[in-house]
Amino acid sequence: MSGEDAGSSAKVFPFFSIQPPSAKTFRCFDRFGRLVPVAWDRWRGVRGPCWRRTRTAPIRFSCPSPFATREILPAGASVEGEALGGLTRAEAIEVVRQKVAEPLAQPLTVSHGTETFTLDAASMITVDVEGMVETAFAPKATASLTARVGARVMDRTTGLAVAPAITVDETALEAWLTGVASKIDTAPANAEMIVAGTKLKTVPSRVGTVVDRSAATAAIIAALNDGVKNVELPVTVTEPDVAEKDLGPTILVRRSLRKLYLYDHGELVKTYSIAVGTPSYPTPLGDFEITLKRYRPTWSNPGSDWAKDMPAYIGPGPGNPLGTRALNLNVSGIRIHGTSSDYSIGSAASHGCMRMHMWDVEDLYPRVDIGSPVHIIR
């Protein structure tokens, strides 16, 4: 007997037991849930027992509404590892909101060296909670009644494991990265020697750093999607052309002390006594460089009043005013050179040049290069 009892939604079916088929025909459920006779030869080769009708007392089965069971997520359904099987849609949405969406919206720390920057992930992303639950539920929602009944009888896992569905506001992210880059981006700087008071000081070199915007955007988006909360900021590094080890010779002249100091690789290596210009022809103050090195130079008459009685040229030799070596600077008529007037060393005696003992200028000459800086201070 089959049918429905009065005043009850429970259907009454004859009891079915699992028995191997022995008759030519038996009854099975069709796709509408009705008992129909089935010929044995249609099922030949099917492995295992079949449902066969036996004439025992009827038993009452309670069948939940198909619409109610459709709203229960299937076994195996999950979002980002959070199991949702057996939950209603509303319950699943709340679980995903608390266990998946809220952690994803927590702040993200972006680091570069000792500097850290905090990204407000909640303002950058949209998490599609309902969409993820819908995707996890999809296999059951679209399955036929027969497929759903079969899955329940066979205890099959039909739910999907769903990855987070996140949309990143790339415009907002780009604006945030612009602010970070303004604090990180720096041009490379060469090491140099500068005057600090009455000495030379080494200014160290600095590498240039520029935020790799494309790589940074990709790394942060990946972290936002994966729930990673720490990202190392990708930067491009440019080395300076001149590091401390590359610093060449540099000269410092203290005019008031009549001293010339030679530095190399940032260190003071030698001090020489010199003569400087008279008050009428003072040695100029400022930052200069060596433009020409002259071995056994020829002196040329500058046409000044003090030289009007001197020859146009004086070749190399004992009477040459420039001595055996001369270093021209990038200022007209000013040189560092030797002299045979050793008595003038330590005084203001020249017409603007810096005189040295012959042995001192010959010692200095190979130690400096064209382009070596010369700083003259009081």
Give dist(CA 299, CA 307) in Å, integer. 11
- Do 212 and 236 form a contact (C-beta atoms < 8 A)? yes
Give dist(CA 287, CA 117) in Å, integer. 42
Q: Which of 28, 50, 63, 353 does the annotation list as catalytic?
A: 353
- 353 catalytic per annotation: yes
- Which of 265, 283, 301, 293 is closest to 349 using CA atoms? 283
Q: Could you give the angle at the alpha carbon of 297 between the alpha carbons of 248 and 345, nearest 5°?
A: 75
Give dist(CA 13, CA 2) in Å, integer. 5
- Do 43 and 21 form a contact (C-beta atoms < 8 A)? yes
Q: Which of 28, 265, 337, 375 does the annotation list as catalytic?
A: 337
Tokens of 273: 């006594």
> In this structure, what are the phi and psi dihedrals at residue 190, rounded to the nearest 5 degrees?
-80, 150
SS3 38: strand
- 28 catalytic per annotation: no
Residue found under tokens 């069709």? 30
Residues belonging to the active site:
337, 353
